[in-house]
């Protein structure tokens, strides 16, 4: 997994409104510039907040990215919950799920 590259791409999107505008008009072109796995690229191209969360994208980065992509707060929270339901526990990063639930 290339979590660093995925988070770097989202960081750049969050920092520059012009880059975000270009990304929103052609996500595939933007994601092609980063060394992402197929799953990471698909999540970024489709603005799949739930999958991005499960892949381990930092919550601060993801929150700003989601807002720039048009997610309201409640929809953002729901998308993360749905991501866990659909894709399983968070796999990497700060929020990775470790061990069995209590």
**Which pLDDT band holds residue 1 (cuts at 50, 70, 90)?**
low
Specify whether the CB–CB gap between 38 and 31 falls below 8 A: no
| Model confidence, pTM | 0.89
Mean pLDDT for all residues in the chain: 93
Phi-psi category of residue 70: left, alpha or beta, with phi > 0 → left and psi -120 to 50 → alpha: left
53-62 pLDDT tens trace: 999 999 999 9
HSE, CB side, 13 Å, CA atoms: give it for residue 3. Answer: 17
- pLDDT score recorded for residue 54: 96
- Which residues, at least 6 apart from 100, have a Cβ–Cβ distance to it below 8 Å? none
How many other β-carbons are positioned within 10 Å of the β-carbon of residue 79? 19
Indicate the domain borders of the chain: 3-87
Q: Which CATH superfamily is domain 3-87 in?
A: Dioxygenase LigAB, LigA subunit (1.10.700.10)
**Which pLDDT band holds residue 96 (cuts at 50, 70, 90)?**
confident
- pLDDT score recorded for residue 101: 56
């Amino acid at each position: 997994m290339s979590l660093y590259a995925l988070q770097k791409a989202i960081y750049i999107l969050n920092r520059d409104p012009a880059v975000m505008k270009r990304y929103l008009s052609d996500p595939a072109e933007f994601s092609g510039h980063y060394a992402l796995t197929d799953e990471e690229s698909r999540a970024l191209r489709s603005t799949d907040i739930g999958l991005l969360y499960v892949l381990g994208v930092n919550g601060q980065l993801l929150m700003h990215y989601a807002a720039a992509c048009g997610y309201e707060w409640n929809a953002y929270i729901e998308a993360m919950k749905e991501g866990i339901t659909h894709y399983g526990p968070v796999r990497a990063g700060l929020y990775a799920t470790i061990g069995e639930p209590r």
